[in-house]
Structure 1
Amino acid sequence: MSSTRASAAPAARVAAPTRREQILKEAALLFAERGFHGVGVDEIGAAVGISGPGLYRHFAGKDAMLAELLVGISERLLDGGRARVEAAPGDPAALLAALVDGHIDFALDDRPLITLHDRELDRLRDADRRRVRQLQRQYVELWVTAVRETYPGTSEPEARTAVHAVFGLLNSTPHLGAGLPGRGATQALLRRLAHGAFGALGPRTATH
């Protein structure tokens, strides 16, 4: 007779972060805490246990780290949004709910990147900054479409204004510090506030 341990399905393994990912994570935390110019390469290296010059095997410099952080999170948001569109065909209300939940997870899990975007976006090279803006516009359009289909009669400017208002609400979490309740309670509160803002647009489309 096999033991319960032997018969149980093995737990899925989470891949350990690469050294490059470790560097980016620590750079984001340090940049958000002390500002881009307040952090040296040596300090980022020390945070991941390598010499500052060793970082240049992974990145050309701090500018490259910042670009990868801000372009990377914009790509991840758009890819996640598109995946949610594909997962909810013909159900705009379910799509909007999924978009809200996904952005809440981003706002809670990637607070340093929100701070970086607010403070340091203008430090990117023109090409990288344009890329971030392009990705963001595409992400917003996913939301605007979902809002207009969920709340028929909503004009494009109204939907766009509502979407940006909800982004402002959700992206304010870095400024709340330790004032947030537990994660589950925070998610529920942000979800209610976001859907309340959209609900002001009028009655939702009928569901079947």
Structure 2
Amino acid sequence: MSNAHAPAPTTRREQILKEAARLFAERGFHGVGVDEIGAAVGISGPGLYRHFAGKDAMLAELLVGISERLLDGGRKRVAEGGESPEAVLDALIDGHIDFALDDRPLITVHDRELDRLREADRKRVRRLQREYVELWVAVVRQVHPVPSEAEARAAVHAVFGLLNSTPHLGRPGALPGRTDMSQLLHRLAVGAFGAMAGEPAAGV
């Protein structure tokens, strides 16, 4: 499994979205003006309207876009398969950890601002997220066939909660290095799924 990080923004549109996510996470959607987002990328506020209709459009593209990216990445990892279902689950976990470590502002924006989306966009995000969860549930049940489907689904949501806690863990400089943090989160996720299945913790 490739451990590639989120790609650096390469277009002006991507730069705008990255800075919008950072500012929305820091100060809230209503606490940020179009002029401030423009200043962060070196263009005038009105110049942003060549790329987006407004802040609402930026927020929708951020939240729909990351939901699509997670689902597409998950499908790719499942399609690529591996030596075993355990290897596929490891790949899914690593892919989500990359997101949790590299896109922390998006996690915050999703938690705070999802309800600000238009109903159609919000429903789209929810649908994409449900498909992503079910992708995981199918793989988890291959690795741990004993729990019920409902238990497996609850465990997947719990592991997402664990991995998506990264915005609340303190500044990056106060945390272990990226590799160590990634390995720690991976062990915790694997351990959580094992606990769901009633498996003893490593070393017990």
How much has 1:52 moved relative to structure 2? Answer: 0.2
Taking the aligned partners of 2:8 and 2:62, their CA distance within structure 1 comes to 20
Equivalent residue, structure 1, for 2:76: 83
Are residue 189 (structure 1) and residue 184 (structure 2) matched?
yes
Q: After TM superposition, what 4+ stretches of structure 1 lie above 4 angstroms from structure 2?
A: none
SS in 2 for 1:177: coil
In 1, Cα distance between the equivalents of 2:25 and 2:167?
10
1:64 and 2:57 aligned: yes
TM-score (ref. length: structure 1):
0.88
1:27-176 maps to which residues of 2 (within 5 A)? 27-88=20-81, 91-176=84-169
Aligned equivalents of 1:60, 1:165: Cα separation in 2 = 36
CA deviation after TM superposition for structure 1 residue 153, in Å: 1.6
Bigger shift: 82-91 or 121-130? Answer: 82-91
Deviation digits for residues 7-43 of structure 1, max 9, x if unmatched? xxxxxxx886100000000000000000000000000
Q: Which amino acid is the alignment partner of residue 189 of structure 1?
A: L
Q: Percent identity?
A: 79
Provide the rounded CA distance (Å) in 2 between the counterparts of 1:122 and 1:198.
30
Mark the runs of 5 or more structure 1 residues left unpaired by the alignment: 1-13, 204-208
Taking a change above 3 Å as real, the CA distance of residues 163 and 15 of structure 1, as seen in their structure-2 partners, is closer
Count of residues in correspondence between the two structures:
190
Gaps of 5+ in 2: 1-6, 200-204
The one-letter code of the counterpart of 1:113 is L
Matched-pair contact (CA < 8 Å) for 1:151–1:202? no
Residue-by-residue CA offset, 1:102-121 (whole Å, 9 max, x unaligned): 00000000000000000000
Give the TM-score normalised by the residue count of structure 2. 0.90
Following superposition, the deviation at residue 202 of structure 1 comes to 3.9
Hey, what does 2:3 align to over in structure 1? none
Who wins on radius of gyration, i.e. which is larger?
A: 1
